[in-house]
Amino acid sequence: MENRLYINIKGKDFVLYEGLLNEFHKNGGKEIRTELIQTVLKEETFFIFKATVIGEKGVFEAYGDACKGNVGAMILPHMMRMAETRAKARALRDYNNIGVCSVEELGGTNENAD
């Protein structure tokens, strides 16, 4: 994966969703499916998505979640989409054999990027 597909935050590298998606297509990726699993947990808005990625390397599944406690203020109105993106990012990391966490999986913002 090219270095331009990573971001450095406080001295640690994270992969960008854009890069994961690009690698998926380069590596024979065919399809991405998502499913909303849950929307409320204990009276708090809490989204959980399951993502399935399918391609020449096989089928990979992962889950992603978002709630007030793990997203930044700017993302709060977009929690459902963030949960879906996190699920896809995790499944894409597995498909592409990338162990580096994606920046989208982090809570808060990436304002401290170097």
- Band (pLDDT 50/70/90 cuts) for residue 39 is confident
Higher pLDDT pick, 11 / 4: 11
The domains located in the chain, with CATH, are 3-101 (3.30.390.80)
Rounded (10°) angle between helices 79-95 and 17-26: 40
Question: 42-96: per-residue pLDDT in tens?
Answer: 678 899 999 999 999 999 999 999 999 999 999 999 999 999 999 999 999 999 9
Whole-structure pTM value = 0.86
Q: 97, 90, 102, 79: which is closest to 19 by C-alpha?
A: 102
Q: pLDDT category, 2, cuts 50, 70, 90?
A: low
